[in-house]
Structure 1
């Protein structure tokens, strides 16, 4: 069990953000242990093919050795993410980690498993070998994550929007207790039912929370003294991630609203931006916008603003139509 102690400044400093590097690093767990991540089997099959390519396997090896199943990750490898951060910025942050912090974070992982050969080498020469690790993360993102990132990002952004609304409406106590079943709010602290046994004072530094696809069933914490406090929690609706992005042949919803608008409604079970919808459907951004305007006017799509983005999502009426269509019932 872990405890995170909050000041008023920490409560005010709770932030939600999507971390591309978290998904890249933690995806190794899913690929190495598919039995524990069955929802990701479509991605795992593709990722394993990618990893069999010699030019990928050799460069990714440092990451594979640090992100082993059942191992703890060094905090510097999953830094706290600010809102709208891009992968390149996070890679620069990892590359700039002071050697003393690399050593400290590596040693903090050893109670669970001893360091791998690359981990031991990095411990001995953090300045010389850290660039190899950064390159490994970059290559794995480019080869295995980037092709599916629009779909992943849409689901993660939708969760951030949902959780931000919870925080605004219910305050910190209710927010944390709804975030994950293992968390309890005790007035000035969060108690986490986990095996990590940390007692940590946030000391006014706030807490960044990242929804993630590959954590399994636990909330994971970055809680070393030289790390910005952060937590990674399982994203909602992960089971929808690899669903088909187009309506099936003969889809009754497509007969009613047209195939383009039907494709959007099948995707809008989670809140998504126009840009991501265009990437997922191969439509032009202008075409997506026209369809969304018509669906919004018909009361089938709602929209809300999250930072710089406008998110679209099905209304209750649209959800009824989509469920009927998937169940094979005629709706037209």
Structure 2
């Protein structure tokens, strides 16, 4: 049997309307897949261990159950639960968007998941009473974010923001065709369309609405499409450098670079392969924000660290010169 593919057809307006953003709701919802399949998502084991303890608390388990039932063991997600994200969108705003989903759309999206897996008890109840039970599902997403995602959100957000900055630069420098082919190995650009290896066979015309793309830490195999006729088309793709998300942050023992630039600045350079904010670096490196700022200023003045603004955040990232030093210190 051949590989199934989806085709997304672009007009010039659609190419111009490609946008990149981070979706807090998507990360919160899709994190349940990692919790249900720890072997498949082994890169997230440090988070999974903590999240499982959180979910065992009765008061959390009860309120999160609607979300658990809709996402357990890789269940296909109803599209209304993973809305397209705008740049700099916050969790509260996305939750309001989910809460405002018309009942007919809730029903339509739930039914679209049933060919691959039957609905859970809560899914069947939501199908019968979408207006009455949707608030319970929104509350479940909010509680899970507060309890399991928010403590690590600065770390997750820094990785996602760094990916958005990297991809935006690719799009600006190389154009849409090269951009999509570098976004994920399953994508190909054929002049006026993106062809995607996909378990769903679809031929979808974007019709001038553009395409919202968001990186995610909780998928690793393919791009997940949210393609509806009456809302902004969207896709969630695997973030770069996922292996760095939970790694230990101490400067390697005997690091030659630390003897040249000092242990504090060396530690920051080791953390800045993927980009981060001052707050993230302070937490990851165990330094005060003031010390991090002083080190970053010195590294920036030496041409080893660059900085760029992404919405409300200033992201710091190693320059090519810093990468040369890091490779030399690792003996590469």
- Answer whether TM exceeds 0.5 for this pair: yes
Instruction: Determine helix, strand or coil for the equivalent of 1:269.
Output: coil
Aligned match for 1:56, one of 49, 60, 78: 60
Q: Are residue 40 (structure 1) and residue 44 (structure 2) matched?
A: yes
Distance 1:115 1:228 in 2: 25
Distance 1:71 1:192 in 2: 21
What corresponds to 1:311 in structure 2? 315
Distance 1:208 1:279 in 2: 31
More deviation, 41-50/245-254:
245-254
Q: Are residue 138 (structure 1) and residue 136 (structure 2) matched?
A: no
Aligned match for 1:222, one of 222, 226, 235: 226
More deviation, 272-281/194-203:
272-281
Residue by residue, what CA displacement relative to the aligned partner does 1:73-101 show, whole Å, maximum 9, x if unpaired? 01110000000111111111111111111
What TM-score do the two structures reach when normalised by structure 2?
0.93
Distance 1:122 1:77 in 2: 13
What corresponds to 1:185 in structure 2? 189
Contact kept? 1:75, 1:227, Cα under 8 Å:
no
Distance 2:287 2:95 in 1: 31
What corresponds to 1:101 in structure 2? 105
Q: Are residue 31 (structure 1) and residue 73 (structure 2) matched?
A: no
What corresponds to 1:197 in structure 2? 201
Distance 2:259 2:142 in 1: 43
Distance 2:255 2:185 in 1: 37
What corresponds to 1:297 in structure 2? 301
Distance 2:72 2:230 in 1: 23
More deviation, 261-270/125-134:
261-270
Task: Flag the 1:244–1:321 CA change in 2: closer, same or farther, 3 A.
Answer: farther
Q: How does 1:253-264 map to 2 (within 5 A)?
A: 253-264=257-268
More deviation, 141-150/306-315:
306-315
Q: How many residues are aligned here?
A: 327
Aligned match for 2:156, one of 133, 152, 155: 152
Query: 1:48, CA displacement in angstroms?
Result: 0.9
Aligned match for 2:165, one of 161, 164, 168: 161
What corresponds to 2:19 in structure 1? 15
Distance 2:129 2:135 in 1: 11
Residue by residue, what CA displacement relative to the aligned partner does 1:261-290 show, whole Å, maximum 9, x if unpaired? 222112101122223323434544443222
Structure 1: gaps spanning 5 or more residues: none
Query: 1:178, CA displacement in angstroms?
Result: 0.9
Query: 1:293, CA displacement in angstroms?
Result: 1.0
What corresponds to 1:91 in structure 2? 95
What corresponds to 2:132 in structure 1? 128
Distance 1:108 1:25 in 2: 18
Instruction: Determine helix, strand or coil for the equivalent of 1:84.
Output: coil
Aligned match for 1:80, one of 72, 76, 84: 84
Instruction: Determine helix, strand or coil for the equivalent of 1:34.
Output: coil
What corresponds to 2:241 in structure 1? 237
Query: 1:257, CA displacement in angstroms?
Result: 2.7
What TM-score do the two structures reach when normalised by structure 1?
0.93
Distance 2:151 2:255 in 1: 27
Distance 2:153 2:25 in 1: 11
